[in-house]
Amino acid sequence: MAQTAAPVPAAAPAPPPLPRSIRRGPPITVNCRCGEQRRLQYGERWRCESCGRSWSTLQIPLESYAQLRAVQLRHRRAPMAISVLSLLCIVAGVLLHRALGGLIIVAIVLSTWSMFFRPLYLRRHRTALGELPTWTLTPESEFQTEAASPPR
């Protein structure tokens, strides 16, 4: 009975569906070794048009990417709260027939936010993003090339 020398690779199992919060996360910038660059969502694959290397963002651990997404969401809370507060002030002003008063309060709140708190907030956000890990991906096509090349 003849046996094949090279084992036939088993078909990769279908990956489980990604959580919605991950699918809508920030894009990942992939730099190809030839210099091309592409921004991909988590879970996307990209075949470089210049050199043919194939990159998959699924090499990034899901927990690690979820950490990035959590930092992004955490730093959206204050701007959202300011927006909701501003809208409530305008609605309250209109309902109380003091629209001008509501607008003045909104103007004061937004000025205070942008002058004093936003720079601190942005600095903290940049620091938090800088503390996150970066990832080095391996092109998938190299794996396939190495696996397909005969032993020397």
Binding stretches for Zn ion (CB under 5 A): 32, 34, 36, 48, 50-51, 53
Q: Considering beta carbons, is residue 36 or 140 the nearer one to Zn ion?
A: 36
The least distance separating Zn ion from the CB of residue 102, rounded to whole angstroms, comes to: 55
- Helix, strand, coil shares, percent, the chain, to 5: 55, 10, 40
Phi and psi, residue 146, nearest 5° = -65, -40
Q: Considering beta carbons, is residue 29 or 50 the nearer one to Zn ion?
A: 50
The least distance separating Zn ion from the CB of residue 140, rounded to whole angstroms, comes to: 12
The least distance separating Zn ion from the CB of residue 51, rounded to whole angstroms, comes to: 3
The least distance separating Zn ion from the CB of residue 146, rounded to whole angstroms, comes to: 17
CB 30 within 8 A of CB 57: yes
- DSSP states of 50-83 as a string? TT--EEEGGGS-HHHHHHHHHHHHHTTHHHHHHH
Q: Considering beta carbons, is residue 32 or 60 the nearer one to Zn ion?
A: 32
